[in-house]
Amino acid sequence: MFVSKRNLTSKLKNWWFPTPPPSPNSTAKPYPEAYFRRRLFLWMPMRMWDIVLQCPTCNIPARTLQSKGIYTRVRLVLEIKDYYYLAAEYHFCKGCNSTFIAWDKRILDLLPDGVRNKFPVVLTYMYACDVSVISFLRSRTLGNSPSALQNNICELHSEEWMRKCVSYLSACKQHRAAAHTFGQSPVEYQKEQQLKNPPSARWFLARYVRNVYNRLDYLRAVTTSMYGRVLKIDSTKKITKKLQGAKGGNASRVTNVGNEKGEELNSIVTTSESMGSLQVMADWLINRFSRAGVTPPVLLYTDRECCSTQEGVSKLQLLFPAWENLLVRLDIFHFMRRLAVGVTSESHPLYSVFMASLSRCIFEWDQQDLESLYAAKKSELVGNGVKNPSSEAVRSAVGKKELAQHCRRRTRGVETTDSLLDSLFTTMATATDVLGVPLFREEMVTEIWPEQRRHILCIQDPPGIQLYTEVGQIKKGGKSLPVYRCARGTTSLESFHLHLARFIP
């Protein structure tokens, strides 16, 4: 196979790519093997790059591995459109008589990073999958799941198989027509090779987990290099409900900690949501910031345990005692949902009016940002042919997404928010729809609002902390508008939990 080190013989055929299908002719009978060939990937790093490999068993520098030829077993590897074969070199150690295949993880770990990255297969004892297939599962987009990947791979495989079938059957048809022209007897042709269906969705998920395990050191290094000024903590039961097996019922919640950029700092599976079960995670985060010499976070958003205890601080502040300046704030969306519990039904005609009014009582828009957006929208309308658009037309043309993207919001303050909310509940306490169904249940004004009123201080923006970051600018109507990313709330963590729950079959 090699004429010298790192030099393959020129007579070697069909080792990297299969030879092309034969050209249709009238003399040679077509055979399906010529049309359904697969590629062969030959993995011989010691021969190809002249690498000296030490024996992983002996772990003695003087004992190096020797070549023993090509391993007799060839693996079938799943790729995007077809399968290909994987062959590898066989190694042995003269000292301990151990043998190793070139695709063995112990051998792969000995290779330089530049050579190691050339190996394109994720291997287990029984199955093999190309890394390009696994890469599709890394996307964090909605709808990306092992089931979707399995359907896409099945479609691509069947399409490639159909092309090969058409080529083979066309050659058979042409050969039969030529035989009939020359008066030859009919020829029986072999059937085309059957389509090998891709594995199940669980198989793809298992291969993805194996790939993640192989990259665990890198992922751990990347994850532990993330920090932040504003942290968010949130728990969910959606993921633990997906756990199966003998240990499936032991875990209760998954708790995640993220930062203002939407990055995940840590994740822990616990049997409860108590502060004691989260202490290990808290200590780990404190040590992580301390070892890196990074400024500790100044703000923590949560959906519970925001108010001060008898000690004068909240339970979450007690969870991070080393961060003396840490402020705890309640996620405003959860605060609004707590108040929405007192509504008769979400399908009530006045429900949307109440929630919009609730938001206006808590937030106010930055007037300078609003004026810039309205000016850009007016220029855009004029450019689209609308002459002298009125202020109402400009405001109605601005969507909620544009407001959130280009305008900043801030809380109104404790006194103003309390006054506006109290006025809102007083005004809408007797509101009904056309059928006389009240908007509020009886306990809304008597129990829910008085109970949640004490959290108004917990939802206010801390003074001196910048919650918006400008991440870019876009042109609208010939004017440049900033694009903001908001650090307020725990929405990013809830989206991450939803993604994990959908990703796990």
Together in a domain, 37 and 145: yes
| Residue 5 located in a structural domain | yes
pLDDT tens digits for range 114-144? 888 889 898 877 788 898 888 888 775 666 7
Say what the pLDDT of residue 185 is. 78
Q: Look at residue 365 and give its three-state secondary structure.
A: strand
Confidence of residue 436 (pLDDT cuts 50, 70, 90): very high
Average pLDDT of the chain?
A: 85
Together in a domain, 253 and 169: no
The CATH number of the domain where 245 resides is what?
Answer: 3.30.420.10
More confident residue, 140 or 109: 109
Among the candidates 267, 302, 330, a domain finishes at 330
- Rounded Cα distance between 208 and 202, Å, is 10
| Residue 491 located in a structural domain | no
Confidence of residue 12 (pLDDT cuts 50, 70, 90): low
* Domain total in the chain: 3
Together in a domain, 240 and 161: no
Lowest-confidence segment of 151-165, 219-233, 413-427 by average pLDDT:
219-233
pLDDT at residue 1 greater than cutoff 60? no
Together in a domain, 245 and 370: no
| Residue 498 located in a structural domain | no
Together in a domain, 267 and 415: no
| Residue 23 located in a structural domain | yes
Tokens standing for residue 91: 């190694």
Say what the pLDDT of residue 17 is. 60
On whether the CB atoms of residues 188 and 221 are closer than 8 A, the answer is no
Rg of the chain's alpha carbons, rounded to an integer?
Answer: 33
| Residue 40 located in a structural domain | yes
Together in a domain, 202 and 268: no
| Residue 130 located in a structural domain | yes
Confidence of residue 93 (pLDDT cuts 50, 70, 90): confident
Together in a domain, 48 and 174: yes
Together in a domain, 473 and 378: yes
Average pLDDT of span 238-249: 69
Beta strands in 9-148 (DSSP E): 40-43, 66-70, 75-78, 83-92, 99-101, 121-123, 128-130
| Residue 503 located in a structural domain | no
Question: Cα(first)–Cα(last) distance of the chain, in Å?
Answer: 46
Among the candidates 295, 330, 365, a domain finishes at 330
Together in a domain, 344 and 307: no
Phi, psi of 191 (to 5 degrees): -70, 150
Q: Which percentage of the chain shows pLDDT scores above 70? A: 91
Together in a domain, 318 and 233: yes
Range of the domain at 351: 340-486
- Rounded Cα distance between 314 and 454, Å, is 14
| Residue 496 located in a structural domain | no
Confidence of residue 495 (pLDDT cuts 50, 70, 90): confident
Say what the pLDDT of residue 13 is. 55
Among the candidates 225, 255, 288, a domain finishes at 225
pLDDT tens digits for range 332-345? 999 999 999 999 99
Together in a domain, 63 and 197: yes
Alpha helices in 341-366 (DSSP H): 351-362
Together in a domain, 100 and 166: yes
What's CA 129's distance to the chain center, in Å? 20
Helix (H) or strand (E) holding 465: none
